[in-house]
Chains A and B, each alone.
Chain A
Amino acid sequence: MTEKDLALQNELLEKYPYVSVRPGSADHASFDVPADKVVEFALALRDKEGFSSINDVTGCDWGVDASPRFSAIWHVYSHECHQYVRINVYAADNEKPAVPSLCSVWAGCNWHEREAYDLVGITFTNHPDMRRILMWDEYPYHPLRKDFPLAGIEVPHPDPDTVAQTGVRVLPAPMNGGPFVSCRGNTMRETEPRALDQEWSEGNRKPSAE
């Protein structure tokens, strides 16, 4: 983190006592904001501090056992001081995570928040159009959750016509052959690189989904 970013972080921290510094940021001023204060903080950033542009919104799953499990992360940018601020809001509920939407502050949040809802499953309250955006509407899972395998889970195909003609199914992708990742562990056997979900291939069908 540069001195300029650090100064900004301290300045904002002083002005808005309800925010706290988010640890682990390698670059920008970064804050944990309570869910009920985020709209107020965002409005202040936009109107008083000059952070006029919303650049990125994403959600994150911090692990199946973590609590709070989900958080939404906004990155806002100022065209005046050319700095970013990261806003992180933890969702209180681990089962049905919900955080306030910032669509009323920056209209550009609309699609980004829909994406976070689609892939991570965080609901943004007061969002004008909370629908899936990348996966099809009936898709039952949220792929970026940590308990969802990369290969996917068998679900009905979105189009019955195509299924009737071809018998195509939404199957988990075959994972043998990579990508390989080495995992944390003590013995060589545990750390050896392997595809994370390797139990099935084209020849050896996965016995059942989930």
Chain B
Amino acid sequence: MSKTIDFEYSEAAAREEDLVPCEKMHLTMGPSHPATHGVLRLQLEVDGEIVTKCTPVVGYLHRGDDKLAENMTYNQFVPFTDRLDYLAPICNNVAYALTVEKLAGLEVPARCAALRVLTCELSRISSHLLGLGVYAMDTGALTVFLTTYTERERIYTLFEELTGQRLTNSYTRIGGVTRDVPEGWLEKVEKACDCILKGVDEMEGLLSRNKIFLDRTKDIAVITKEMALQYGLTGVNLRCAGIGSDIRKDRPYSGYEQYDFDVPVGTVGDCYDRYLLKTEEIRQSVRIVRQVCKTLPDGPIFAEDAKKICLPPKQRVLTGMEELIQNFMLTTHGPQIPAGEAYFEAENPKGALGFFIHSKGEGHPYRLHVRGPSFVSLSTLPVIVPGNFVTDIPAILGSLDFVQGECDR
């Protein structure tokens, strides 16, 4: 990038007196670096220990999801959405399903919507647990990672029982979800919630007042309100700047308006704020999960009336002619979605994951575009990194909480 960016030295860097400008050095970090969480490459220009310019290079995991979506039916694309933000796959499934349903003008049954909220929030917890774990690991606290991962494994076990997969769940279909909850599963969720809260307490005990962690995160990479809006940041990265915007509250989807939860908002916008917000979001998600467990309505788990979109139950396919034809048509031609275009964003752990779909009324999208929140978060790096030490970069990257699969798509 030819444009130079004005920056101020961070407080920590400014404390180093006698800042003698020395020869600038170019340093490449990544694309295979343990602190870049995947295949991000940073081209740095450093003046001694201080970064003066940062140019991120992305695209090392560009797998062509947009093009793939144009070449397959709507339901076939669901597994690909798993692999966008692979830390919270169900959130992606839900965001995608909701976009297509919006295009089709389809309302899902209450039980299906509640199950989506439940699994979404569990995913959010698991994503934040991993995010915080690696964030702590990058700043030098390995124990936290082991603690949070133990809690994350509980959610893996729950998901495996519900969906059959640990990580890439592909839980939703257009107009429904794949399976109903197994017997006794909700009680297990409640029990897991207790353990998770204990784990979060333990993690907070290790980090929140930890001198090293505070030194490495306080006042580092402050995101201001103006900047957050200019760059279109979403999720925790936006809320840390003091803007209380959460799509679950502002544009409720999938029945989020029925549940009582708070949206934590930051005041400073630094790395430490982002840590605090994520910790609080885990607690709020647990609150939502508990409410859903208590109020889970009965009923079907997919929209049975939408005969051009949802597959009929297997039992009826084997016995009824009409259902057999329906099954055949849907499997070969895909769900028939009316022509039009829709853009929908869902509040994912990393920010707002958006899908833009243009349909020409066929079984596959004419154009599908994924708006990855990580892509947006990383685009702020040229502004927030300069002025900090090279050693601050792992803390900054950890606090931005990005996933390369979603950034490069």
Contacts and interface: CB of A to CB of B under 8 A. Distances in A.
B367 interface: yes
Contacts of B369: 56, 58
A124 interface: no
Nearest to B69: A179
Contacts of A191: 332-333
Given A53-B229, A143-B67, A144-B66, A108 B379 contact: yes
Contacts, number: 130
Contacts of A79: 229, 243, 245, 250
Interface string A44-67: 000000001111101011000000
B232 A134 contact: no
A128 B3 contact: yes
Interface stretch (B56-64, B114-122, B254-262): B56-64
A55 B234 contact: yes
Contacts of B376: 108, 111
Contacts of B356: 56, 58, 73, 75
A196 interface: yes
A56 B64 contact: no
Interface in B295-339: 332-334, 339
Interface in A101-153: 106-108, 110-112, 115, 119, 128-129, 132-136, 143-144, 148, 150
A31 interface: no
A84 interface: yes
Contacts of B251: 82
B348 to A, nearest CB: 13
A60 B358 CA distance: 9
Nearest to A118: B59
A82 B6 CA distance: 32
A71 to B, nearest CB: 10
B350 to A, nearest CB: 14
B354 A179 contact: no
Interface residues of B, number: 54
B179 to A, nearest CB: 24
A160 interface: no
A184 interface: yes
A182 B64 CA distance: 20
B146 to A, nearest CB: 35
A154 B151 CA distance: 46
A25 B340 contact: yes
Interface string B52-80: 00000011001010111011110010000
A177 interface: no
A133 B57 CA distance: 7
A61 to B, nearest CB: 8
Contact of B67 (A27, A75, A150): A150
A180 interface: yes
B156 interface: no
A50 to B, nearest CB: 10
A193 interface: yes
Nearest to A146: B70
B343 A86 contact: yes
B343 A28 contact: yes
A144 B67 contact: yes
Interface in A5-26: 24-26
B332 A26 contact: no
Nearest to B234: A55
Given A179-B76, A180-B72, A181-B72, A111 B375 contact: yes
Q: Select the residue from A55, A60, A143, A148 with max chain B CB neighbours within 10 A.
A: A55
A184 B342 CA distance: 22
B343 A75 contact: yes
Contact of A179 (B2, B71, B409): B71
B342 A129 contact: no
A26 B340 contact: yes
Interface of B: 1-3, 58-59, 62, 64, 66-68, 70-73, 76, 102-103, 105, 229-234, 243, 245, 250-251, 332-334, 339-345, 352, 354, 356, 358, 362-364, 367, 369, 371, 375-376, 378-379, 408-409
Given A61-B367, A79-B245, A179-B68, 12 more contacts: A24-B340, A26-B105, A26-B340, A53-B229, A54-B231, A56-B343, A56-B356, A134-B408, A143-B64, A181-B73, A182-B332, A193-B333
14 contacts: A26-B105, A56-B343, A61-B367, A108-B233, A115-B375, A128-B1, A128-B3, A129-B1, A129-B2, A134-B58, A178-B72, A179-B71, A181-B73, A181-B363
Per CB-CB distance, the 4 closest pairs between chain A and chain B, nearest first, are A134-B59, A108-B231, A179-B72, A82-B250
